[in-house]
Every structure is written in structure tokens, then in C-alpha cells.
């Protein structure tokens, strides 16, 4: 089974929770590179992020969280759809973004 190293860019509040100082996170994904497999790998490595990006039970994206990559909004894509090749190859990060709302 193929193994990919994926860059994940997290918002500042989630980097703080995960005790990360700067920059992107890298996670190892085996097999298909999808939103689900990337987030599964992220939560396995940083369990303090469980429930902060996806609902614990439904595994659905939280309403004020968005996913972007390669200048595309992937928020409404199926969690099992393949991510762009540039993400799967590690050239471009998968962005987890807090929606711009509120004050």
C-alpha cells in the first residue's frame, strides 16, 4: 500500500492546542489520500484535536471550519474524495481554516 507524507496547515488556535510552535504539520497517510484519511492521521498523532475539526460522533466538518487546497474550497467535497495530486505528493498543504465570522 502506498504511503504519502501530507502537509497540513492548521489555524493558530489548533496549533496551540496541539502544542505546535510554527509551520505546517506533516502526517503519514497510507492508501488513498482523502479528507478523511488525512484527518484520521492528524487526530491519531494529535489526539487533542479530536472533536475540534470534525464532530466526534458524526465525523462531519464543524460548521465554522473550512478545508482548502490548491486554491480550491474543498469544504463541501465528500470526505472520501481524493485530494488534489499536489496535496497527495506533499507539494501543497491541506489547509484547515477557521471561517471568518464573528468578532
Partner 1 sequence: MSKVRVLVGTRKGAFILTADGKREKWDVSGPFFAGWPVYHLKGSPVDPNRIFASQTSDWFGQVIQRSDDGGKTWIQPGTPPGESTTAPDGSPKGESNKFVYDTSGPTGKPLTTHQWYDGTQHPWEFKRVWHLEPSLKDPDTVYAGIEDAALFRSSDGGKSWQELSGLRGHGTGPKWQPGAGGLCLHSIVLDPSNPQRIFIAISAAGAFRTDDGGKTWKPINQGLRSQYIPDPKAEIGHCVHHIAMHASKPGVLFMQKHWDVMRTNNAGDVWTEVSGNLPTDFGFVIDIHTHEPETIYVVPIKSDGEHFPLDGKLRVYRSRTGGNEWEELSKGLPERNCYVNVLRDAMAVDSLDSCGVYFGTTGGQVYSSANAGDSWAPIVRDLPAVLSVEVQTLP
Q: Does 73 bind partner 1 (CB under 8 A)?
A: no
How far is Cα 14 from Cα 91, in angstroms, rounded to an integer? 22
Among 6, 27, 41, 49, binds partner 1 (CB under 8 A): 49
Task: State the burial class of residue 41 (Cβ atoms within 10 Å of its Cβ: 0-12, 13-18, 19+).
Answer: buried
Among 52, 61, 92, 93, binds partner 1 (CB under 8 A): 52
Among 23, 28, 31, 47, binds partner 1 (CB under 8 A): 47
Beta strands at 94-98 and 72-73: parallel, antiparallel or unpaired: unpaired
> In sequence order, which residues have a C-beta less than 8 Å from that of residue 48 and are 6 or more positions away?
17, 18, 19
Among 9, 65, 70, 82, binds partner 1 (CB under 8 A): 65
How far is Cα 77 from Cα 10, in angstroms, rounded to an integer? 19
In the complex, least distance from residue 63 CB atom to partner 1, rounded to whole angstroms: 8
Among 24, 40, 43, 77, binds partner 1 (CB under 8 A): 43
The residues that touch partner 1, with contacts defined as CB under 8 A, are 11, 13-14, 16-17, 43-44, 47-53, 55-57, 62, 64-65, 98-99, 101-102
Amino acid at each position: 500500500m502506498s504511503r504519502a507524507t501530507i502537509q497540513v496547515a492548521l489555524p493558530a488556535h489548533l496549533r496551540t492546542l496541539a502544542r505546535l510552535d510554527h509551520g505546517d504539520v506533516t502526517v503519514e497517510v497510507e492508501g488513498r489520500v482523502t479528507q478523511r484519511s488525512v484527518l484520521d492521521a492528524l487526530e491519531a498523532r494529535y489526539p487533542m484535536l479530536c472533536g475540534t475539526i470534525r464532530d466526534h460522533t458524526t465525523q462531519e466538518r464543524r460548521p465554522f471550519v473550512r478545508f482548502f487546497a490548491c486554491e480550491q474550497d474543498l469544504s463541501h467535497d465528500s470526505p472520501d474524495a481524493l485530494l488534489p495530486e499536489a496535496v497527495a505528493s506533499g507539494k501543497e498543504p491541506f489547509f484547515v481554516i477557521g471561517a471568518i465570522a464573528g468578532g
